[in-house]
Structure 1
Amino acid sequence: MQVLGPWTDPASIAARGGGKARGLHKLGSSGFRVPDWTVLGTEVFAEFTTRGGLTDAVTELVALDDLDAALAAGATLRGWIAATPVPSEIRVLVTDAYTRLGDGSIAVRSSVVAEDGPDHSYAGQFDSFLNVNGIDAVLDRVRDCWVSAFSERSLRYAFANKQPPAGAVAVVLQRLIAARASGVLFTANPISGARDELMISAVYGLGEGLVSGAVDADSVVVDKSSGAVLETVVGDKDRLYSAVGEQGCAISDVDAAHRELPVLTAAEIAEITELGRKVQAEFGTPQDVEWALDGEGLWFLQARPITTALGAGPNALIRGAGEVVPDDAQRIWDNSNIIESFNGLTSPLTYTTAADIYGRVYHGYVKSLGVPDEQVRQTEQWTPVLLGYFHGRVYYNLLHWYRMVGVAPGYPLNRKVLEAALGVAEPLPNDIAKTLRPFTFRNPLRRMRSRARTTVTYLRRLFGIDAMVEQFMTDFYRVYDEYDTLDYTAMSGAEAYAAYRTVDRDLVERWGPLMVLDAILLSCTGAMFLLTKVLLPKAPEWFLYAVVGPGADVESAEPARAMKALAEVARADPELTALVNSTAPEQIYPALAGRPDFREQVDAYLDRYGYRSLDELKLETPDLREDPSSLFVMLRSALPDAPLGHRDEAEDYLDSHLHGVRRRVYERLRGKVSRCAAHRERLRFCRTRAFGMVKRMIRVMGRDLAARGVIDEFADVFFLTVHELRGCYESADTAGFRDLVAARKAQRVKDAGLVAPARFVTTGSAFGRAELASQGWVPITDTPAAEAGTVFAGTPSAAGVVEGTAIVVDEPRDVAGGILVAYRTDPGWVAALPSASALVIERGSPLTHVAIVARELGVPTVVQVKDVTKMIRTSMRIRVDGTHGTVTVLAEGEVRDGQ
């Protein structure tokens, strides 16, 4: 037996000194300031048990595989250790270890061999003691450390992690730092899982209050690369003030003046951050480091690997698309009309499901055009990352969408139409757009052969798209009708998962080739715009969008027409109108028990359109069957009588300006575009139905996982990724999912307080919160209201001029004939359109779903109106000019000239 310490070789420390000694030895040998320390190796405890006749008891306990038996044996062994005298040889050794540290107080810490490992930290399972003075006290505390190796909590921890109980125990003696402040440094964020952040927790005095939870700590999150402080939470110093006496800190160190101040200064945070970077570089993995500050500066007291599942926390999702990007390469993120489908905060399950489907569908699209296998494999680098996820919001990974457009012929024209279709406010410069090739070839000849084959295939699809869509619709409804009629209330989670996987594989495989429709629509719309410029050079901008509508009978307008029919029935009955207008939406359906005729019509609507909802592509949003209350929100908005019909300005303009052969040529192309637009709307309806069906399956799985204890409650399923959800039914380890969900919920609360910029740029893969903040991800602040006379310029989408009261909403409620002003819309809003006198959308394009339907219903519309929802307030009088694309704030009582 001998005293070990910094002078001992690393191999002996690793074998005999335990986890804490390993970390201290590595810190000291790497040049970090560590208080003097010694260690009583595992052979000291072995000698103690041998002399006391306890060796067999320890061996038997370690070999037990039953927790209850281990707990009983541990209780007996603890009593024997406490009652066994310390042999004189061990007393001499402990005295030597103690005196090497000089005079003053020391800390006595357990240091088990299995402790502070890469997989299991054993944090808090074994005892440590501060302010220990005198050899007798040191001996008592050493014995207490040995006892704690067999405590109930340590045994339960070992069994929970499928580890053997500790049988080899070392004890570290360390000079005590009279700390002004102390705490813990994590060189990666253990809460969010972000490896590009450090987290510092700090308290006044010694750190025992922090690790025990007796005091509230300050918490600081720092961007690792820049050192910028991202987040600061100042702990409750009143609680700390009442507890410091128990933690060994002089009360005078925490006087009243300190209670309102952060524990650490900016300079101290910077120093801890810099040293934290160096610690991680030396150890090679993220570390959990205990530190202390005294008059001499910063000391590191302990270091161990972080065992939290880093990269699996919310920040594995919250920044980017998971794409490996060269350090000097940029990515442009634009929410344009993606917010029509995924508005605002979107759950991890919805985002990862959408990203997975987008990747597989567009990969199938590329294959369907006859692209060679070598080039198809190249697209696998970017098709899975067409979408990105930032602080809970979904964005287009825009450059890859330009690549996607380049797969089909006609890229120069198609990319211009893409920008219009997506509602991109800033077209990509030509010098960049030309470089965005979907794939490369070994030589020009291979490229020419491939392009020829793709072009021939594309032309076949162009002329055969009608039959192709009809065949898809037949196949889709065969699958949909089979699975939508299943009794999901009687399904087990495993059965729902099996159904989900079957539907997912079947529909995604069939959907890929149909993406050619989007390419065809881009090409035909582009040709239509060019032909319009040639034959009708003076046509107003609104005409370019109104002339290519899918037709008044488009399927996606059916819910609006059905809602109008319900509203007409309710409007004819004053009592029914009063019920809808004055009763809480969630209480209306039960209240209709006394109105069986109307309830039957509502049930018919739910039966036909019950798969719909607001934010209908968000899996977390209940559909109308699950929560019919939103139906009555839309019904309330539709009650004011409003005309419903197609505005014929486009037809009148054509009749006045185009005749003969030129008109016939124009109408032939126009018919093709209209049919393709109608096909696209039909496919969107199919997509909505498919998501509605998947929602029902996921709800079965969510309830099953809650019952199994994998998650705490049903709604937690939406905080899992699609791959994690699949893992729940494919034998993956789900032990950490509850903590993962809790972390993502906490992150969502923080994300809700941030402004989501419409467009921003990142460079490389290693960008963090500081870089995002510089791009506009900042806390929400109030924006002054617009003054009378302010004119907002946007893109005209549906002609007409309307004056009225603005109603700024984030869902279609209480419009009642006013002008609906929204940041974005989704297909679920169409039922509210009949009651809106005009529509203003901050984000979106004239070719988005609601804009198309608004034109068919004759609702003047302006889109892409920057900051309109920030500066327009509900009840303001505004003028919407859907012909010229302007929104004007009016003074009270002001009227337009000529009115």
Structure 2
Amino acid sequence: MRAQAGGKAHNLCELTAAGFPVPRWAVLGTDAFDAALAAAGLSISEAPLTLAERLREAAIAESALRELTMPGEIREAIVAALEYVGAETVAVRSSGRQEDGVRDSFAGLFDTFLNVAGLDATEDAVRRCWASAFSQRATQYRHVRGLDFRDVALAVVVQRSLKPHSSGVMFTADPLTGSTERVVINGVLGLGEGLVSGAVDSDSVSIDKGTGLVVEELVCAKTEMMVGTAGGGVATVDVPADCQRQASINPALRDVLFDLGIRLEQHFGCPQDVEWAADETGTWILQSRPVTTLELQTGCEPEHSGEVCNDARIWDNSNIIESFAGVTSPLTFTTARKLYGDVYRSYARSLRVPPAQLEQMESWLPVMLGQFNGHVYYNLLHWYRMVGIAPGYPLNRRVLEVALGVSEPLDRQTAKLLHPFTFSNPIEKAISRARTTITYFRSIRTVDAMIEDFDETFVDFIERHGLMDVSAMDGQSAYRMFRQIYDEVADLWGPMMVLDAMLLTMVGSLAVLTKVFLRGAPEWVQFAVVNPEPDVISVEPARELTDIAAFVREHPDLDSFIAAVEPTVAYAELARRAAEAGPPEWQELHRKIEDYIDRFGYRCLDELKLETPDLRQDPAGIFHLLRMDAAGQREHTGDSAQDYLDTHLRGPRRKMFDALRRKIQRAATYREHLRFCRTQGFGILKSLVGVMARELEQRGTIHSRSDVFLLRIDELFGLHESEMTAAAAQAAIRRRKILQESYSRYAAPARFTTTGSEYTERELAEAGWRLSEDATYAPAGTVLTGTPSSPGVVTGRAVVVEKPQDFSSGILVAYRTDPGWAAALPFASALLIERASPLTHVAIIARELGVPTVVQIDGLTNAIRTGMTVSVDGASGRVVLLEEP
């Protein structure tokens, strides 16, 4: 049956015979396909061919079948099929011999045509269905999967069209976690093509098989739906406003589908991927095939990744939000989580932690980060454990809390119970701790040499990887290079994490000296005295961009160009004008931009997110920043901390203070240097992901390049190691796309607690997770307080932005920042950040530039709106709202 009718028709035959509700259908067998090939004078080469040769052969066949004059006997068979189906319109679907199998599903690779009306249109749909067997994506899929090209034959199903009020997909096992205890149903209003293509939003419901109870349900706002049109074909139409919140899967339909799903799984003996539709006459099964995802889901953790034991977990995003703000893709999160674990494993090894204790650390190293509703959090207790690897834990943990900007310190009793590992006896512990302490303080003494060695290695790393041209690289080569670079980065960065530990120890020591030597010193002083040296590399992008902006404003034609041309096209237009014989300032601006991209192109907004293009991939961000109002730029001079020390501290105490301060400044400069190098390393990985995405799209494994970011890192690896099928990937992508869209509706709490590895949506709601609501702004006269970070008093117009390119001048107000915001700081008269610590990247640079800054201001972006007149005192941390806009 499968050889003649193909996989889809074979399954439909079995469904029909078993009494499942299937719309009436007929099939044009593979013999009709063979006859069409013969009529077109086509044959499939049996010789082994390269992919390029196969693609050329396939392109000829695809074109010939599209233009084929239908042989009489096949036309008669189509007429007979239409008469048997007996419907005004039909769906024309592929049914390949190799399709809908357990290993190779060919999901989405062959064409389907819905709501086809009349004989001529049906003939054309059949021709195009046949032609899709030779599409570029299908040909690449066969080649990559090593399938026999002689078995390309495609049957075609002709099936009665439905006019469904709801349609969708049902999995009788969770396609993401592999759990066989749940049935997962996705649905949309109208035709299911909107769900499969991702064109419209969908609802989702998960049902426990044992109890039949709903364990998770999502009903989204549906603004569009796909429907059949009167003359044939389909169209996307607006959903009436009063129906947009209507569930596509109501309780009655849910129960019917659940029952059908259980019966289908029992009939076929394995979990099923089911397409369904419901109209006024009933609920219909359009196809059912094995869930190919499950073989690949073993050993994978759920989205809310915590530790293994059933104890309390504290989730805090006060610092991690600087790197991974808002909704973060599964690929970025799983890559970062794995990298954090690998880097700190290497760090512990560099401090000579014994093998037995390294093995104990495996219970928490892989889960130092967690993700809830798409938002990334520190699994905070593990970070206290990590700090405990180096000596000085009681002091270091308190400095860690300041550095992370956490809202509340850990109580002393709990802190004492947190250990990175344990020992079998006191002697073993004493020997190990002594060895680690000696190694640690040796690192402090030799930090300069350690950085020199790192730089030498990293220069070689950049020469080997940073200058490579990825445009001509194939996906498999990019995958191998990604894994090589990933391993190098983990091994290279691990030992350098001792810098963070050193800074915790030294900053804590300087804080003690500050309290003893400078009683009554303003709070901002303790942060300002630990700033890096003035020539820190992280300030250079801001200074360089300021110089470029000044050059632009010296030339009216360039100034007009930046103001008038859309940033999205400005780079290409500048290159065109620079290439023309004209005023030299055009060539000079182009050279400056090229040099900036070459030096700082990896530094951008959300630079550690793999899904966010950097300036090398999209230079538009530079032109957004160049539009900032130079008139609002402040002259930042002087060192407030130095001035304060000169006034209040002299003699031997000053010498002692300065000696420690210089060590801290040098270490902080090194740390900023390492972070900049980290940005370069991530940028290279980002470019390689782009190559893999490009080829996966060409092979038909994913529908669009952006889909790659909906995969986990282990799944991306699995696709390149033939451990994951395209169907499995597409099932995961389809589900996660729905979830990612829903995550953006949540207001993420800064900190919350869970207990154990299982928690319900209700428990998360009680922990502070809420849907975003419209803000209620504070009235004039309101006083907000935060942590003073950089002194200075400024009164001016507040500008509340989510992205630095939306800022021009005034008092910059943000919920969070990352290193990509540094370029906006020279144009800010003051800086207010709701979620940041005084030791985060942007706060450090703001002090270096002399920008009055207050951080950790609760409710800041809900209280202030753009246009308000605000008074900022960076020394006291007071922010006063003076006037409404």
* TM-score bin, normalised by smaller chain: 0.7 to 0.9
Q: Confirm or deny that 1:664 pairs with 2:655.
A: yes
User: Counterparts of 1:38-187 in structure 2 under 5 Å?
Assistant: none
Q: Could you tell me whether the CA contact under 8 Å between 1:318 and 1:392 is conserved in 2?
A: no
Deviation at 1:602, TM superposition (A): 2.0
Q: Confirm or deny that 1:839 pairs with 2:831.
A: yes
Q: Confirm or deny that 1:796 pairs with 2:788.
A: yes
Name the CA shift for 1:198/1:740 in 2 (closer, same or farther; >3 Å). Answer: closer
User: What secondary structure, in the 3-state scheme, does the structure 1 residue paired with 2:796 have?
Assistant: strand
Deviation at 1:546, TM superposition (A): 0.7
Q: Confirm or deny that 1:447 pairs with 2:433.
A: no
Q: Confirm or deny that 1:522 pairs with 2:504.
A: yes
Deviation at 1:360, TM superposition (A): 0.8
CA–CA distance in 1 between the matches of 2:601 and 2:284?
61
Name the CA shift for 1:779/1:314 in 2 (closer, same or farther; >3 Å). Answer: farther
User: What secondary structure, in the 3-state scheme, does the structure 2 residue paired with 1:783 have?
Assistant: coil
Name the CA shift for 1:219/1:467 in 2 (closer, same or farther; >3 Å). Answer: closer
Name the CA shift for 1:557/1:19 in 2 (closer, same or farther; >3 Å). Answer: closer
Q: Could you tell me whether the CA contact under 8 Å between 1:192 and 1:747 is conserved in 2?
A: no
2:318 is aligned to 336
CA–CA distance in 2 between the matches of 1:879 and 1:892?
13
Q: Confirm or deny that 1:828 pairs with 2:816.
A: no
1:149 is aligned to none
1:639 is aligned to 630
1:857 is aligned to 849
Deviates more, 1:629-638 or 1:493-502: 493-502
Q: Could you tell me whether the CA contact under 8 Å between 2:615 and 2:622 is conserved in 1?
A: yes
Deviates more, 1:360-369 or 1:762-771: 762-771
Q: Could you tell me whether the CA contact under 8 Å between 2:636 and 2:851 is conserved in 1?
A: no
User: Counterparts of 1:699-718 in structure 2 under 5 Å?
Assistant: 699-718=690-709
CA–CA distance in 2 between the matches of 1:210 and 1:668?
66
2:124 is aligned to none
Q: Could you tell me whether the CA contact under 8 Å between 2:201 and 2:220 is conserved in 1?
A: no
2:753 is aligned to 761
CA–CA distance in 1 between the matches of 2:419 and 2:389?
8
1:872 partner letter: I
For residues 697-723 of structure 1, give each alpha carbon's deviation from its aligned partner in whole angstroms, at most 9, with x where no partner exists: 222222232233322333333333222
User: What secondary structure, in the 3-state scheme, does the structure 2 residue paired with 1:640 have?
Assistant: helix
Q: Could you tell me whether the CA contact under 8 Å between 1:35 and 1:300 is conserved in 2?
A: no
2:811 is aligned to 819
User: What secondary structure, in the 3-state scheme, does the structure 2 residue paired with 1:678 have?
Assistant: helix
Query: For this pair of structures, how many residues does the alignment match?
Result: 754
1:779 is aligned to 771
Name the CA shift for 1:662/1:187 in 2 (closer, same or farther; >3 Å). Answer: same
Name the CA shift for 1:312/1:685 in 2 (closer, same or farther; >3 Å). Answer: same
User: Counterparts of 1:344-743 in structure 2 under 5 Å?
Assistant: 344-589=326-571, 590-591=573-574, 592-593=577-578, 595=585, 596-637=587-628, 639-640=630-631, 642-736=633-727, 737-743=729-735
Deviation at 1:351, TM superposition (A): 1.8
Name the CA shift for 1:581/1:443 in 2 (closer, same or farther; >3 Å). Answer: same
Deviation at 1:259, TM superposition (A): 13
1:56 is aligned to none
- 1:325 counterpart (279, 294, 308): 308
Deviation at 1:219, TM superposition (A): 5.4
2:293 is aligned to 309
Deviates more, 1:567-576 or 1:224-233: 224-233
1:132 is aligned to none
Name the CA shift for 1:605/1:440 in 2 (closer, same or farther; >3 Å). Answer: same
For residues 513-545 of structure 1, give each alpha carbon's deviation from its aligned partner in whole angstroms, at most 9, with x where no partner exists: 111111001111111111111111211111110
CA–CA distance in 2 between the matches of 1:459 and 1:422?
24
Using the size of structure 2 for normalisation, the TM-score is: 0.72
RMSD over aligned Cα atoms: 5.3
Deviation at 1:217, TM superposition (A): 14
Q: Confirm or deny that 1:873 pairs with 2:848.
A: no
Q: Could you tell me whether the CA contact under 8 Å between 1:314 and 1:744 is conserved in 2?
A: no
For residues 654-687 of structure 1, give each alpha carbon's deviation from its aligned partner in whole angstroms, at most 9, with x where no partner exists: 1222111111111111111111111100101111
Deviates more, 1:673-682 or 1:580-589: 580-589
User: What secondary structure, in the 3-state scheme, does the structure 2 residue paired with 1:466 have?
Assistant: helix
1:58 is aligned to none
Name the CA shift for 1:258/1:483 in 2 (closer, same or farther; >3 Å). Answer: closer
CA–CA distance in 2 between the matches of 1:405 and 1:196?
40
Q: Could you tell me whether the CA contact under 8 Å between 2:194 and 2:226 is conserved in 1?
A: no
Q: Could you tell me whether the CA contact under 8 Å between 2:104 and 2:725 is conserved in 1?
A: no
User: What secondary structure, in the 3-state scheme, does the structure 1 residue paired with 2:539 have?
Assistant: helix
Deviation at 1:503, TM superposition (A): 2.5
Deviation at 1:265, TM superposition (A): 7.5
CA–CA distance in 2 between the matches of 1:496 and 1:582?
39
Q: Confirm or deny that 1:883 pairs with 2:875.
A: yes
2:479 partner letter: Y
CA–CA distance in 2 between the matches of 1:672 and 1:259?
61
Name the CA shift for 1:270/1:665 in 2 (closer, same or farther; >3 Å). Answer: farther
Q: Could you tell me whether the CA contact under 8 Å between 1:616 and 1:688 is conserved in 2?
A: yes
CA–CA distance in 2 between the matches of 1:380 and 1:212?
40
Deviation at 1:286, TM superposition (A): 6.7
CA–CA distance in 1 between the matches of 2:649 and 2:244?
79
1:27 is aligned to none
User: What secondary structure, in the 3-state scheme, does the structure 2 residue paired with 1:346 have?
Assistant: coil
Deviation at 1:375, TM superposition (A): 0.1
Q: Could you tell me whether the CA contact under 8 Å between 1:822 and 1:841 is conserved in 2?
A: yes
1:129 is aligned to none
Q: Could you tell me whether the CA contact under 8 Å between 2:203 and 2:218 is conserved in 1?
A: no
Deviation at 1:846, TM superposition (A): 0.7
Q: Could you tell me whether the CA contact under 8 Å between 1:346 and 1:618 is conserved in 2?
A: yes
1:785 partner letter: Y
User: What secondary structure, in the 3-state scheme, does the structure 2 residue paired with 1:489 have?
Assistant: coil
Which consecutive residues of structure 1, in runs of 5 or more, have no partner in the other structure?
Answer: 1-17, 24-33, 38-64, 69-75, 84-114, 124-151, 166-180, 243-256, 294-298, 894-899
1:415 partner letter: R
2:597 partner letter: L
- Higher alpha-carbon Rg: 1
Q: Could you tell me whether the CA contact under 8 Å between 1:228 and 1:770 is conserved in 2?
A: no
Q: Could you tell me whether the CA contact under 8 Å between 2:331 and 2:711 is conserved in 1?
A: yes
CA–CA distance in 1 between the matches of 2:188 and 2:883?
56
2:550 partner letter: E
Name the CA shift for 1:718/1:275 in 2 (closer, same or farther; >3 Å). Answer: closer
Using the size of structure 1 for normalisation, the TM-score is: 0.71
1:677 partner letter: A
